Amino acid sequence: MKISKSYAFQSFAIVLMATGFFLVFKTYLPKKIFKESESKNKHIVVDSLLLEAFEEEKDARQKGLNLSETDSLTSVDSLSTILSDEPANTFRGFVYMHAFYEKLYQLEVEQKGKVRIAYYGDSMTDGDMIVQDLRRDFQNKYGGQGVGFVSVTSESAGSRSSISHQFSANWKVQSYLNVKNPIKPFGINGHVFFAKDTVNSTWVRYKSSANSHLSVLNKPTLFYGKSNNTKGQLRLIIGKDTLIKRLNPVGELNTLTLSESNLKGFKADFIQADSIPFYGVNFDDQQGVHVDNFSNRGNSGLPLTTFKPGIMNQFQQKLGYQLIILHYGTNVLNYGSYNYSWYERQMSRVVENLRNCFPGVSILVVSTADKATKYDLTMQTDSAVSPLVSAQRKYAIANQTGFVNLYQLMGGDGSMVKWVEDIPAKANKDYTHFNHRGAKQVSTMIFKQLEEGYEAYKKGKTGLVQPAEPVVVKPKAKDTIKVKRKENLNVH
Domain of 210, CATH number, reads 2.60.120.260
> Omega into 424 within 30° of 0, i.e. cis?
yes
User: Following DSSP, what letter does each residue of 2-29 receive, concatenated?
Assistant: PPPHHHHHHHHHHHHHHHHHHHHHGGGS
Express as a percent the part of the chain with pLDDT over 70: 77
pLDDT at 491 over 50: no
Question: In 3D, which of 94, 32, 19, 52 has the Cα closest to residue 453?
Answer: 94
Residue predicted with more confidence, 337 or 302: 302
- pLDDT reported for residue 438: 98
Helical packing angle, 131-142 and 436-462, nearest 10°: 40
The two beta strands, 471-472 and 233-238, are unpaired
Residue 429: CA count within 13 A, CB half-sphere: 5
pLDDT at 40 over 70: no
Going by pLDDT thresholds of 50, 70 and 90, the confidence category of residue 86 is confident
Q: Is there a single domain that holds both residue 254 and residue 375?
A: no
Q: Is there a single domain that holds both residue 394 and residue 319?
A: yes
- pLDDT reported for residue 80: 33
Q: Is there a single domain that holds both residue 409 and residue 368?
A: yes
C-beta separation of 180 from 306 below 8 A: yes
Task: Report the pLDDT averaged over residues 279-283.
Answer: 98
Going by pLDDT thresholds of 50, 70 and 90, the confidence category of residue 200 is confident
Task: Report the pLDDT averaged over residues 409-432.
Answer: 97
Q: Is there a single domain that holds both residue 130 and residue 172?
A: no
- pLDDT reported for residue 71: 44
Q: Is there a single domain that holds both residue 155 and residue 262?
A: yes
Going by pLDDT thresholds of 50, 70 and 90, the confidence category of residue 199 is confident
Query: How far is the CA of 95 from the CAs of 28, 79, 453, 476, in angstroms?
Result: 51, 16, 8, 21
**Cα gap 482→384, rounded to integer Å:** 10
Going by pLDDT thresholds of 50, 70 and 90, the confidence category of residue 337 is confident
Query: What is the span of the domain harbouring residue 463?
Result: 29-144+287-492
Looking at 232, 262, 285, which one is the last position of a domain? 285
Least confident piece of the model among 17-31, 100-114, 160-174, 422-436: 17-31
Mind listing the pLDDT tens digit for each residue in 289-300? 999 999 999 999
Least confident piece of the model among 211-215, 356-360, 439-443, 468-472: 468-472
- pLDDT reported for residue 63: 64
Mind listing the pLDDT tens digit for each residue in 153-185? 999 899 999 999 999 999 999 999 999 899 999
pLDDT at 434 over 50: yes
Q: Number of structural domains, the chain?
A: 2
Looking at 261, 285, 309, which one is the last position of a domain? 285
- pLDDT reported for residue 9: 56
pLDDT at 469 over 80: no
Task: Report the pLDDT averaged over residues 465-478.
Answer: 40
Q: Is there a single domain that holds both residue 180 and residue 325?
A: no
Residue 431 lies in a domain: yes
C-beta separation of 274 from 100 below 8 A: no
Q: Is there a single domain that holds both residue 310 and residue 436?
A: yes
Q: Is there a single domain that holds both residue 445 and residue 367?
A: yes
Residue predicted with more confidence, 4 or 172: 172
Residue predicted with more confidence, 222 or 27: 222
Task: Report the pLDDT averaged over residues 243-268.
Answer: 97
> Average pLDDT, whole number, for the chain?
85
**Cα gap 369→435, rounded to integer Å:** 13
pLDDT at 486 over 50: no
- pLDDT reported for residue 12: 58
Task: Report the pLDDT averaged over residues 245-272.
Answer: 97
Express as a percent the part of the chain with pLDDT over 90: 71
**Cα gap 113→103, rounded to integer Å:** 7
Least confident piece of the model among 22-31, 159-168, 413-422, 471-480: 471-480
pLDDT at 41 over 80: no
- pLDDT reported for residue 28: 47
Q: How far apart are the first and last CA of the chain?
A: 55
C-beta separation of 166 from 205 below 8 A: yes
Q: Is there a single domain that holds both residue 299 and residue 275?
A: no
Residue 190 lies in a domain: yes
pLDDT at 346 over 50: yes
Least confident piece of the model among 55-59, 66-70, 120-124, 430-434: 66-70
Task: Report the pLDDT averaged over residues 450-468.
Answer: 78
Residue 163 lies in a domain: yes
Q: Is there a single domain that holds both residue 154 and residue 274?
A: yes
Least confident piece of the model among 313-322, 337-346, 365-374: 337-346
Going by pLDDT thresholds of 50, 70 and 90, the confidence category of residue 32 is very low
Residue 30: CA count within 13 A, CB half-sphere: 9
- pLDDT reported for residue 5: 54
Q: State which amino acid sits at residue 5.
A: K
Q: What's the CATH number where 492 sits? A: 3.40.50.1110
- pLDDT reported for residue 186: 98
Residue 295 lies in a domain: yes
- pLDDT reported for residue 59: 63
Looking at 230, 264, 285, which one is the last position of a domain? 285
Helices (H), 358-423: 385-398, 406-410, 415-421
- pLDDT reported for residue 462: 74
C-beta separation of 375 from 348 below 8 A: no
Task: Report the pLDDT averaged over residues 94-121.
Answer: 96
Q: Is there a single domain that holds both residue 229 and residue 292?
A: no
